[in-house]
A and B are shown apart, each in its own frame.
Chain A
Amino acid sequence: MTAVVRISSVEKIYPLGKTQVHALSGIDMDIQEGEFTTIAGPSGCGKSTLLNLIGCMDVPTSGEVYIEGLPIAKLSDRELTKLRLEKLGFIFQSFNLIPVLTVFQNVEFPLLLQGRFSRAERQQKVTALLAEVDLTAQQGQRSSELSGGQRQRVAIARALVTGPRIVLADEPTANLDSATGERIIELMKTINRTHKTTFIFSTHDPQVMRQAGRIIRLKDGKVVTGQDS
């Protein structure tokens, strides 16, 4: 069985003034389909950088990232964007809903970008997901009228609406209180089980780490140990 994400001798160097920051130096790992993986480590160890590379928002300085076997280093901005739209879902620390849109419209947004579904199909997909994250009642509201937990559930629905193979979440619970954070992880885990979606998320929170099927620890841009659950 091929890995849904394969990272092979990946280096990421950021220029910083006259010097350089080695955000990632020599990462190798495989993530299998349906895994519920967390990336852990102290601040500045390179968690976000790694997730950005897997999320096709950036390309490695050297080495290669494969998404379902497809190398991304040589892809154009256009192709990367298409890959993000079709295969990946994103959940952000600060939720990142589009403020001018309603809950329904936010979830519908990626479907409209894909542009291949009729109005009825979109309606059906969005309604189903909103039910799944328990926000049917709020579908007409603006994100500013929602609580943090509700917003993050909208974000989860948006990330899942296109049926992505991989969902990436950079510290999805950092802006939530621990009880709400736990419920969000709970929800992600449920979806991981029911939809067979691969989840990769980062966190500082040991509580959250315990929920993960697999923990990848980073330190100074390197993998410390690959502990399987």
Chain B
Amino acid sequence: MSSQLGQLRLISSVALRNLWLDRFRTTIIGALIAFGAFLAVIGLSLLNDVRASMRASITQSVAGDLQIYSANAKDSLTLFGGGGFMGRADIGNLPDFAPYRDEILRHPNVAAFVPMGLDMAVLARGNELDDSLDALRSAIKGKDSAIIAGRVEQVRFQLEQVGLELTARRQLSADQAELEQQERDLKVAAAPEFLQDVSKIGEEKLQFLETRIAPLSGEKLPTYIQYFGTDIAAYLANFPKFHLIEGTLLGPGERGIMLSRKVRDEQLKNSVAKIFDKIHKRLTKRNQSIAGDDECRRFASDLKKQYQQILSYLDRADAEELSRKLTDLGIAAVGGDELVQRLSHQLTMFLTVDDSNFEQRYSWFYANIAPKIRLYEVSPGQTITVRSYTRSGYIKTLPLKVYGIYNFDGLEDSDLAGVLSIMDLVSFRELYGQMTEASRRELDVMRAQVGIKDVSAENAETDLFGSERPATTVAANDKKEAAEPLSVKPRLADQFDPQEVQRGLALNAAIKLKDSGKEERTQQELLAALENRGLKANIVGWQKASGIVGQLVNIVGGTLLFALAIIFLVAFVIVNNSIIVGTLNRTREIGTMRAIGAQRSFIVNLFLAETGITGFFGAISGTALAVLVIILAGRLGIPAGNDIVTFIFSGPRLYPRVHWTVVTTAPILITIVATLASVYAARHAAKIQPADATQEKE
């Protein structure tokens, strides 16, 4: 017993003395192991931080800890960037979520149940003339003649521009007859007497302008918006990453939408401003230059062509003023008296940017031009028109009031998660294609008109929700008589009874847990509890439900572990080699020990002890250094640098924390790994023969 201890003491004292004698080599190996430990502790701690912050971003924005959806789903639920038909996964629906909710809320670990429905639709977009006509229409309603006159002036100014566009198109167009008709229409509209007498601008004239003239100015590309409908009050109470930037919150019982900031910035912002922003971002955040970066050069050459995007929002007075200001800026007006031509030229010059003038033009634009134009197509308070294809092939068009613009904190720049908009559940249901009493009556009327008879309301409902029929527009088009899908314009009130979102249809629901550590157990227990009640459903964890966004955590972790593995492999080889080289100097000593009776195992243990001790102290000091760095970084925060890292950090800065499990296990593991790394070298040393004791040194 005590002699075993004696041998152990012997080994450790010989090992320590050898390490001291060979302190240069010991220091190198120790430093290498310390470096490995440092990287491992930093890496694993950051991984834990990133995992935690991404988890928070995802679970506290949309996902919750668990998601429940129909057992009849054809696709699996993907909250961010889901696939399926037209980007819409078919996850079925829960015709009434109330029994599910009641059962789930009974579980002691469940904190909340928030019904949801995820879908996408087209945002109808007019052009600038449409916008001006809308403004004129509401001015006429307001009956203030000064305002009306201003609006008329703006419309006239835009008609001039449409005229120029048509002339330009003349050279390209093949259909001369159509073009002549368009020119005749425009002539009527642009004639001075057409909009002369403010009191005589009636519905007829407005409709003429809207239907015959506005389309000449070109349609904007339709924009898809992804959104989810939810019980807004429950949602806001449970998802703290929701962050309102502009406008107001959607209140209980109010019908409307809150748009994602990213979508609005990227798709609904004036394109001049958008290009300015993009270049500015590349110059400031990525330290690029316009001359030296292909992307910037492409943006810059796009920018020059966008003067129309400024011009078409101006009325004559604004245009005159802008022309004067540009002249003051040093961009002279050439091209005669014609204002549109003169300003077009000046704006083109203004929008021709390079590295020397960009910052000046950028701020000048926001100071002098932005206030005069509509920076965003959509702003809080406005009503937008959303068009959706229901699962059974109907087009539903729904006006929705925009209440606010919002972000998910930490996901603001995510292409997948940052683009979701949020609406109330009642509007969602309408766009999804659920029949309300009002729209059902309307559908009956329309069916009668197109000659479909004997369709009871009940059958219509089955058609809409039944899965027997392929629920696509293609299916509808198969029937010749229904070549055009029915367009149903529902008349929904702006308010609804908040009780309506306490039950009824939802596609999925987020389940928030009290202790999210018990995610898997709770998931199993909830499934069992539902089963007991005869309720079937799919329940998945947040990471699975968030699709590729949730997987990113694993990808980041995998990459990090891979990098660590490579570093350790290199360290492994270096430690191994340096020990083998070390044994060469010690052949006589080892031979002597073997000659006077030391077993091979004694030599192996001696070597393992040497690297074990080096490894232990190396790992401890590397870990200590890492802890210091983490504490320091936790104070200052690590800046994200670019979008991808911002997303991974779930914010502009990551504040790392010291993770005690990492700090305690990493040095132990690294010591073990370092010791194992020397097994080969130790066995190599143990092969030295006793007769080598007499080998002459040097």
A contacts, CB < 8 Å to B: 48, 52, 55, 57-58, 77-78, 81-82, 84-86, 89-90, 92-94, 96, 98-101, 105, 109-110, 112-119, 122, 158-159, 162, 170
**Which B residues are CB-close (under 8 A) to A119?**
2, 6
B18 at the binding interface (Cβ < 8 Å): yes
- A-side contacts of B597, CB under 8 Å: 81-82, 84-86, 110, 113-114, 162
B2 near A118 with CB under 8 A, answer yes
Instruction: Give the docked Cα–Cα distance between A52 and B591 (Å).
Output: 13
How does the 8 Å CB contact mask read for B8-40 relative to A, with 1 for contact and 0 for none? 011001100110110000000000000000000
Q: Return the chain A residue nearest B10 by Cβ.
A: A112
Q: How far is the CA of A158 from the CA of B598 in the complex (A)?
A: 14
- Given A84-B596, A96-B592, 4 extra CB contacts under 8 A: A48-B694, A81-B600, A82-B599, A85-B597
B596 contacts A100, CB within 8 Å? no
B588 contacts chain A at the CB level, 8 A cutoff = yes
B690 at the A interface (CB under 8 A): yes
Write out the residue numbers on chain B whose beta carbons fall within 8 Å of the beta carbon of A93: 694
A92 touches B592 (CB 8 A): yes
Residue of B nearest to A86 (CB): B597
Residue from A52, A101, A117 within 8 A of B14 (CB atoms) = A101
B691 CB to closest chain A CB, in angstroms? Answer: 5
Chain B 323-355: CB-based contact to A (< 8 A → 1; otherwise 0): 000000000000000000000000000000000
Q: Which of B2, B10, B21, B690 contacts A109 (CB 8 A)?
A: B10
Across the interface, do B14 and A90 meet the contact criterion of CB distance under 8 Å?
A: no
Are A81 and B594 closer than 8 Å at their CB atoms?
Answer: yes
Name the residue in A78, A96, A114, A122 with the highest tally of chain B Cβ atoms < 10 Å from its Cβ: A96
B360 at the interface (CB under 8 A from A): no
Asked if B14 and A118 make an inter-chain contact with CB atoms under 8 angstroms apart, the answer reads: no
- B residues touching A (Cβ–Cβ < 8 Å)? 2-4, 6-7, 9-10, 13-14, 17-18, 20-21, 588-589, 592-600, 602, 689-691, 693-694, 696-697
Contact check, B2 vs A113: say whether CB atoms are below 8 A apart. no
Contacting A170 at CB < 8 Å: which of B7, B9, B10, B694?
A: B694
Q: Would A55 and B589 count as touching, CB distance under 8 A?
A: no
The reply to whether B3 and A85 form a contact with Cβ atoms under 8 Å apart is: no
Interface contact B600-A90, CB-CB below 8 Å: no
A100 and B599 contacting across the interface, CB-CB below 8 Å? no
Contacts of A98 in B (CB 8 A): 14, 589, 592-593
Q: Count A/B pairs, Cβ under 8 Å.
A: 94
| CA distance in complex: A48, B596 (Å) | 16
- Asked if B17 and A101 sit within 8 Å, CB to CB, the answer is yes
**Least Cβ distance of B104 to chain A in Å?**
66
The reply to whether A109 and B596 form a contact with Cβ atoms under 8 Å apart is yes
Chain B residues, Cβ within 8 Å of A58: 689, 691
Whole-angstrom CA separation of A89 from B596 in the bound complex:
7
Closest residue on chain A to residue B6 by CB atoms: A112
**Bound-state Cα–Cα, A100 to B592, Å:** 13
Q: List 14 A-B contacts (CB under 8 A).
A: A48-B694, A82-B597, A85-B596, A94-B694, A98-B592, A99-B21, A100-B14, A100-B18, A112-B3, A113-B596, A113-B602, A117-B3, A118-B2, A122-B6
Which residues of B sit under 8 angstroms from A170, Cβ to Cβ?
A: 694
A84 to B21, CA, bound (A): 28
Cα distance A90–B592 in the bound complex, in angstroms? 9
Chain B, Cβ-Cβ closest to A168: B595
| B470 nearest CB across to chain A (Å) | 78
Contacts of B13 in A (CB 8 A): 101, 105
B17 to chain A: which residues have CB within 8 Å? 100-101
Report the nearest A residue to B601, measured CB to CB. A78
Residue among A81, A118, A119 facing the most chain B CB atoms (10 A cut-off): A81
Within 8 Å CB of A122, what residues of B?
6
CA distance A130 to B339 in the complex (A): 115
Q: How far is the CB of A157 from chain B (nearest CB, A)?
A: 12
Known contacts A96-B693, A98-B14, A100-B14; A118 and B3 CB within 8 A of each other: yes
Which of chain A's residues has its CB closest to B14's CB? A100
In the bound complex, what is the Cα–Cα distance between A114 and B10 (angstroms)?
Answer: 12
Closest CB in chain A relative to B466 CB, distance in Å = 81
**Cβ of A218 to closest chain B Cβ, rounded Å:** 17
Residues in A whose Cβ lies below 8 Å from that of B689:
57-58
Q: Is the CB–CB distance between A57 and B595 below 8 Å?
A: yes
Q: Is the CB of A81 within 8 A of B10?
A: no
CA distance A152 to B167 in the complex (A): 114
Let me know if B589 and A99 touch, CB within 8 A: yes
Q: How far is the CB of B338 from chain A (nearest CB, A)?
A: 99
Residue from the list B3, B9, B691 in contact with A57, Cβ < 8 A: B691
Give complex CA distance A94, B282 in Å. Answer: 74
Given contacts A99-B589, A117-B3, contact A92 B694 (CB under 8 A): yes
Nearest A residue to B693 by beta-carbon distance? A96
Residue of B whose beta carbon sits closest to that of A162: B597
Give the most central of B2, B4, B694: most A CB within 10 Å.
B694
Within 8 Å CB of A159, what residues of B? 596
CB contacts (< 8 Å) of B693 on chain A: these are 57, 90, 92, 96
Contact call A158/B2, Cβ cutoff below 8 A: no
Which residue on chain A has the smallest CB distance to residue B692? Answer: A57
Interface centre among A92, A114, A116, A159 (most CB of B within 10 A): A92
Most A CB within 10 A of own CB, among B4, B18, B599:
B599
CA distance A113 to B13 in the complex (A): 14
User: Could you tell me the distance in whole angstroms from the C-beta of A202 to the nearest C-beta in chain B?
Assistant: 11
Q: Are A57 and B690 in touch, CB under 8 angstroms?
A: yes
Give the docked Cα–Cα distance between A204 and B689 (Å).
Answer: 25
B630 to chain A minimum Cβ distance, whole angstroms, is 38
Set A94, A110, A117: member contacting B697, Cβ < 8 A: A94
> In the complex, A117→B6 CA distance in Å?
9
Interfacial chain A residues near B7, Cβ < 8 Å: 112-113, 115
